[in-house]
């Protein structure tokens, strides 16, 4: 501790206390004392230089765009791609891009204070309801004048549109949720990806007969089971019902939702038991080791296996109701918004438009060791892995794309109502009425 030291003589413990008060101090020691005491404050002002040096008075000067990204340096490809995109834009447009990298979870959790505080001009965000909420509150800038963007089709435009019919978002990439399996395990057992409900049930029964749990399953983190709810709801009640349920326009205690939970209850014996004590990474590992046959998850399942995914393949969840089919799936779209409180609105918009281009996607994919699946159809697919090529195909063929529950609905509803409710259901699958009526009660108070 560099606590200001009083003059040495007085501080010594050998001096009797009574002598301390009477001891004459020269004027110099008093001045020194005052100066040292002032140091505590003066020292702090030295900090100003340190505190401000990273930005260097760049402020809001034209030609500088602040770019906030939700991947911290060092996490690997996810950060490298965004950093490369920023660099490419800087090179191409001559605009200085100032990168602000914050880790994914912190960024997401503090997004509200971020947007209301001193946000960057352009920032990474998600399509769907969560973008729409910010648009309603006036926190993000209307981007309808930069749309349409070459190479982004109508479904992406739809995903970028808020409730008021204007676009507030520019997509760059996406990843699908599907049923993943090990090719080698399927080959060894002579299994094939099922397309109909009967095939699906027969496959799961066969797996159980061979001592393999059909579905790996973990919901300790709370969100992975949302994927199961989404896909069951879309298969049983259709995409349109799913979306209006997510928007709070349908009853959560109605027969449709009860049917979803009831079907899920019947499927649970095919899932790993006690999912609440297992993270998705552990579940993925048991699929990777062959203890489980399949795993319903996003393409990021590869990350947990510590391999390149060559032995992985996937199929979309088969149809459960032939009148509804299986042409809808979760494929969360990532992209960019322009913050309304950003200082360089024009620069931000110009950059956002470029970020939607094929050139941006290529710049990102060429610079990182793992590519994302570009939203822009013009983007090169030469760096894609087989899994990604297939992902692009499957998503391209899908008639309807949902964004995943925690992006399609109110963020508070997803995290404070749906996570505990689904976990409650998994703990006690027989009390469907109790779970659905409790969700409905809370949904009514949140959606009003």
Determine the interface stretch with other proteins among 1-9, 82-90, 245-253, 308-316 (rule: CB under 8 A): 1-9
Report the distance separating Cα 141 and Cα 280, nearest Å.
36
- List, in sequence order, the alpha helices (H) in 221-376: 224-237, 239-246, 255-267, 280-288, 301-305, 345-355, 358-367
Confirm or reject binding of residue 61 to other proteins (CB under 8 A): no
Task: Give the distance from CA 312 to its chain's centroid.
Answer: 23
User: Residue from 51, 190, 209, 448 that binds other proteins (CB under 8 A)?
Assistant: 51
Report the distance separating Cα 351 and Cα 87, nearest Å.
12
Count helices and strands (H / E) in the chain: 22, 12
Minimum Å gap between C-beta 29 and other proteins is 8
Residue with Cβ nearer other proteins (52 or 396)? 52
Binding mask 235-274 for other proteins (x = CB under 8 A): ----------------------------------------
DSSP at 167: B
Q: How many residues does the chain have?
A: 448
DSSP 379-404: S--TT--HHHHHHHHHHHH-SEEE--
**Coil, helix or strand for 335?**
strand
Binding mask 82-121 for other proteins (x = CB under 8 A): ------------------xxxxxxx--xx--xx-xxxx--
Residue with Cβ nearer other proteins (251 or 341)? 341
Minimum Å gap between C-beta 339 and other proteins is 11
Binding-site residue total for other proteins (CB under 8 A)? 70
Report the distance separating Cα 377 and Cα 22, nearest Å.
87
Confirm or reject binding of residue 35 to other proteins (CB under 8 A): no
DSSP at 146: G
Report the distance separating Cα 297 and Cα 176, nearest Å.
8
- Residue numbers 302-361 binding other proteins by CB under 8 A: 303-304, 306
Residue with Cβ nearer other proteins (220 or 258)? 220
Confirm or reject binding of residue 210 to other proteins (CB under 8 A): no
Minimum Å gap between C-beta 347 and other proteins is 17
Residue with Cβ nearer other proteins (318 or 371)? 371
User: Tokens representing 20?
Assistant: 């301390």
Using left for φ > 0, alpha for ψ between -120 and 50, and beta otherwise, residue 211 falls in: left
Report the distance separating Cα 117 and Cα 60, nearest Å.
15
Residue with Cβ nearer other proteins (6 or 434)? 6
Confirm or reject binding of residue 370 to other proteins (CB under 8 A): no
Confirm or reject binding of residue 40 to other proteins (CB under 8 A): yes
Confirm or reject binding of residue 10 to other proteins (CB under 8 A): yes
Q: Is the dihedral of CA 81, 352, 243, 417 positive or negative?
A: positive
Minimum Å gap between C-beta 392 and other proteins is 20
CB atoms within 10 A of CB 410: 20
User: Residue from 33, 420, 429, 434 that binds other proteins (CB under 8 A)?
Assistant: 33
By CB under 8 A, name the binding residues for other proteins: 1-4, 6-7, 10-11, 17-18, 20-22, 25, 29-30, 33-34, 37, 39-41, 43-44, 47-52, 54-59, 68, 70-76, 78, 100-106, 109-110, 113-114, 116-119, 280-282, 285, 289, 298, 300, 303-304, 306
């Amino acid at each position: 501790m560099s606590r200001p030291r009083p003059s040495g003589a007085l501080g010594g413990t050998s001096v009797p206390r009574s002598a301390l008060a009477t001891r004459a101090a020269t004027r110099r020691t008093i001045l020194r004392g005052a100066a040292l005491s002032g140091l505590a404050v003066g020292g702090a002002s030295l900090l100003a230089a340190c505190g401000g040096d990273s930005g260097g008075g760049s402020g809001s000067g034209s030609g500088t765009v602040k770019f906030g990204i939700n991947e911290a340096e060092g996490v690997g490809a996810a950060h490298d791609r965004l950093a490369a995109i920023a660099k490419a834009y800087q090179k191409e447009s001559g605009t200085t891009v100032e990168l602000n990298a914050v880790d994914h979870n912190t960024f997401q959790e503090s997004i509200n204070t971020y947007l209301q505080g001193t946000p960057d001009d352009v920032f990474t965000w998600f399509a769907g309801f969560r973008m729409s909420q910010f648009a309603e509150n006036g926190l993000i800038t209307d981007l309808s004048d930069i749309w349409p963007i070459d190479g982004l089709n109508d479904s992406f435009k739809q995903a970028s549109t808020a409730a008021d019919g204007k676009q507030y978002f520019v997509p760059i990439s996406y990843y699908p949720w599907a049923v993943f399996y090990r090719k080698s395990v399927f080959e060894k057992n002579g299994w094939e990806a099922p397309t109909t409900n009967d095939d699906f049930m027969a496959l799961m029964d066969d797996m159980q007969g061979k001592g393999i749990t059909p579905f790996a399953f973990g919901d300790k983190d709370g969100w992975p089971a949302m994927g199961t709810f989404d896909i069951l709801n879309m298969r049983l009640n259709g995409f349109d019902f799913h979306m209006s349920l997510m928007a709070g326009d349908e009853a959560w205690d109605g027969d449709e939702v009860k049917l979803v939970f009831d079907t899920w209850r019947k499927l649970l014996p095919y899932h790993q038991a006690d999912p609440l004590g297992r993270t998705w990474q552990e579940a993925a590992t048991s699929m990777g080791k062959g203890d489980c046959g399949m795993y319903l998850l996003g393409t990021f399942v590869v990350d947990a296996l510590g391999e390149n995914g060559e032995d992985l393949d996937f199929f979309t969840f088969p149809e459960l109701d032939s009148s509804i089919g299986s042409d809808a799936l979760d494929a969360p779209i990532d992209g960019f918004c322009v913050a309304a409180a950003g200082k360089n609105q024009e620069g931000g918009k110009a950059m956002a438009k470029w970020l939607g281009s094929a050139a941006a996607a290529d710049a990102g994919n060429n610079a990182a060791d793992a590519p994302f699946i570009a939203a822009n159809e013009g983007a090169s697919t030469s760096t894609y892995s087989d899994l990604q090529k297939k992902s692009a195909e499957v998503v391209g063929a899908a008639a309807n794309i949902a964004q995943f529950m925690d992006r399609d609905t109110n963020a508070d509803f997803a995290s404070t109502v749906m996570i505990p409710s689904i976990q409650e259901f998994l703990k006690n699958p027989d009390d469907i009425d109790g779970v659905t009526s409790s969700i409905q009660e809370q949904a009514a108070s949140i959606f009003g």
